[in-house]
Amino acid sequence: MDYKTKKIKNQVLEEFIKNKVSEKNLNRIHECGSFLLFHTDERKEKKRLVHSNSCKNRFCAMCAYKIARKDAMKISVMLKYLENNCQFLFLTLTSPNVTSDNLSEEIKEYNKSFERMTKLKPFMGAVIGYIRKLEIVYDGNKKITKEMYKKKKKYYDNLGLYAGDTNPNYNKYHPHFHVLLAVKKNYFSNNYIKRDTWLEMWRKAKRDESITQVDVRKLELEKGVAEISKYSAKDSDYLMSQEVFDVMYKALKGRQIITYNGVFKESAKLYKKGDLDYLKDVDLTEYVYRILYQWGQGEYVEKEMRELTDEEKERFNKQLIDEMDIEDEKY
């Protein structure tokens, strides 16, 4: 994890959010990540963050990343627990992009629409649980880039547009759902739902015939877990400008971003109680040193290093791993 970059982003957040939170909460954001305490192996190559001051604001780049890592581990363990009785699908539900004025209402409509879809007969016959995550993407590209065209070629071709043309979604927002579905074990032989049926169900539930696609596929474990647990909005989007941040803040404030249902809801209760700890791996790294870094003048500076005591080594080594990497970890 690039702590320096995330701390710098937090300073941008502090400026954008200053008129929206109390002085106490603003100070917590300011102090977030001001120190980082690590345990390291003998060569100081592997580090485990054991303590830092956190603001817990959902727009904080550092805190959002920590939460995402814990969510990823939680979901990964629940999948292990359920895998003998379920199959897993990854479903992405989208609709046309909206302007800033319509974003909050569109999110409300997404929630209502998904609820309607869960009551449709094919869904009820196949799905026994889901984890649903809201994500919002802002499109700040005035022109269609080569990367954008390559990724959504069919979409742009249908509009008669190519790389270099004016982007029809410039300055618009794209809310969408990522949904991890648990389906019956015999799903592919007895309860299988074709892609066209998923599309038909989402159109019906959303009451929007202009929707052209849904993406549904068998779950790729690492990719799917990372996708469902990652941030609800990219900091590169909402920290782009005060205007974009204001829109995102209003749309996401107070909303439940991730929802557990059915077998996942029951599994989440077991996870919280520690009943699924037997499915976690033990951290086999032998931690030897304790290193304290403090933030100052745009850098993290090593302030203190000492060897762990025998008592600390006994206490901190061979612990269960409770976080999962979702991007390259670096310092």
pLDDT > 60? residue 119: yes
Mean pLDDT, residues 42-59: 93
Burial (CB count within 10 angstroms: exposed 0-12, middle 13-18, buried 19+), residue 137: middle
Amino acid in position 77: V
What distance in Å separates the CA atoms of residue 95 and residue 110, rounded to the nearest whole number? Answer: 9
- Detail the DSSP E strand segments found in 115-264: 127-139, 172-184, 214-218, 258-262
Coil, strand, or helix at residue 93? strand
User: Can you state the angle between helices 23-31 and 3-17, rounded to 10 degrees?
Assistant: 160
User: Which of residues 328 and 303 earns the better pLDDT score?
Assistant: 303
What distance in Å separates the CA atoms of residue 193 and residue 265, rounded to the nearest whole number? Answer: 23
What distance in Å separates the CA atoms of residue 285 and residue 48, rounded to the nearest whole number? Answer: 9
Reported confidence tier of residue 229, pLDDT bands at 50, 70, 90: confident
User: Domain map of the chain by residue range?
Assistant: 3-55+283-316, 83-279
Tokens at 3, concatenated: 């702590």
Tokens at 258, concatenated: 């991730």
Amino acid in position 11: Q
pLDDT > 50? residue 330: no
Mean pLDDT, residues 4-18: 95
- Residue 227: its pLDDT value, please? 84
pLDDT tens by residue, 241-252: 999 999 999 999
- Residue 328: its pLDDT value, please? 41
What distance in Å separates the CA atoms of residue 264 and residue 266, rounded to the nearest whole number? Answer: 5
pLDDT > 50? residue 329: no
What distance in Å separates the CA atoms of residue 325 and residue 73, rounded to the nearest whole number? Answer: 9
Tokens at 179, concatenated: 């949904």
Strand (E) or helix (H) holding 151: helix 146-151
- Residue 327: its pLDDT value, please? 62
What distance in Å separates the CA atoms of residue 287 and residue 264, rounded to the nearest whole number? Answer: 34
Mean pLDDT over the full length of the chain: 93
pLDDT tens by residue, 166-218: 999 999 999 999 999 999 999 999 889 999 999 999 999 999 999 988 999 99
Reported confidence tier of residue 1, pLDDT bands at 50, 70, 90: low
Contacts of 23 (CB under 8 A, 6+ apart): none
Reported confidence tier of residue 223, pLDDT bands at 50, 70, 90: confident
Q: Which residue from 302, 297, 331 is spatially nearest to 11, judged by alpha carbons?
A: 297
What distance in Å separates the CA atoms of residue 67 and residue 232, rounded to the nearest whole number? Answer: 11
- Residue 233: its pLDDT value, please? 81
Task: Give the strand pairing for 47-52 and 86-93.
Answer: unpaired
By mean pLDDT, which of 79-83, 115-119, 213-217, 218-222 is the weakest? 218-222
CB-CB neighbours of 274 under 10 Å: 10
pLDDT tens by residue, 283-323: 999 999 999 999 998 999 999 999 999 999 999 999 999 99
Q: Which residue from 270, 232, 180, 237 is spatially nearest to 67, judged by alpha carbons?
A: 232
What distance in Å separates the CA atoms of residue 240 and residue 249, rounded to the nearest whole number? Answer: 13
Mean pLDDT, residues 76-92: 95
Mean pLDDT, residues 235-258: 93
pLDDT tens by residue, 127-165: 999 999 999 999 999 999 999 999 889 889 989 999 999
